[in-house]
Amino acid sequence: MMTTIMRQNLSDLTRHWAHDIYEVFQVQGVSMVSYVPDAGHVDLIKLCEADEKMRVLSLTTEEEGVAFAAGAYLGGKRAALLMQSSGVGNCINMLSLIKTCQLPFLTLVTMRGEFGEFNPWQIPMGQATPAILSAIGLIVYRVDAPSEVRDVIEAAVGLAFNGYSGVAVLLSQRLIGIKRFKEEK
C-alpha cells in the first residue's frame, strides 16, 4: 500500500506539466496548434503531434501563427500559438488583427532572457515581452510553478474564447528549466 502511494506521488512529480496543457486543449476544444519551436515546448508539441485529431502547423515566423489563428476562428476552430519570447516581437503588428476584430487568441510563450539566462542576446526581448504584449492589447498571465499550469491555462483559454480576447501565457524560465549549453557539451 505504502509503495503504491509513493509510486503515485512519484508519478505526479515526474509527469510533465505539458500534459496539463494538452488536456486543457482537449477539454476546451483547442484543436489546432501552430508553432515556431522552442525547447520548452518540446513535450507539448510531441503530445499534440501524436493526436490525430489535432492539426499541428510549423511556421517560418511567429506572426504567421497570429494570422493562422484568426483564419481558423473565422472557420469555427480554436487554434493556439506556441513560441519563445524572442518571437513575440515578430508578432506585434499582426496582433492588431486580434484586438480590432475582437478575435479570441491564445499564445503560450516560453520565456528566455530572465531567470538564470546565460545568453545576453535573449535578455532584451525577454525583458520587454510582458510590456510589449500588454501594449498591443493582450492580457498577460505568467506561470512560475508546475502546479499552477493547469489552472492558468484553463483561465486563459476561457478568457480568450469566452471573452473574445487575446491572451498570452508566459511560461517562465524557472518553470521550464535554465538552458546551460556548457553542461550539454
For 161, residues 6+ apart whose C-beta sits below 8 A from its C-beta are 28, 78, 104, 106
Provide the β-strand partners of residue 33: 56, 80
In the complex, the smallest distance separating the C-beta of residue 147 from another protein, rounded to whole angstroms, is 30
Identified binder of another protein from the candidate list 10, 27, 39, 96, rule CB under 8 A? 96
Q: What residue ranges in the chain does DSSP mark as E strands?
A: 30-35, 55-58, 78-84, 105-110, 139-143, 166-171
In the complex, the smallest distance separating the C-beta of residue 99 from another protein, rounded to whole angstroms, is 9
Eight-state DSSP code of residue 95: G
Identified binder of another protein from the candidate list 24, 44, 47, 59, rule CB under 8 A? 59
Identified binder of another protein from the candidate list 97, 128, 139, 140, rule CB under 8 A? 97
Alpha carbon separation from 77 to 30, 54, 89, 105, 158 (Å, rounded)? 7, 11, 25, 11, 15
In the complex, the smallest distance separating the C-beta of residue 17 from another protein, rounded to whole angstroms, is 27
Identified binder of another protein from the candidate list 6, 7, 12, 102, rule CB under 8 A? 102
Residues that bind another protein (CB under 8 A): 32, 55, 57-61, 63-77, 79, 93-94, 96-97, 100-103, 161
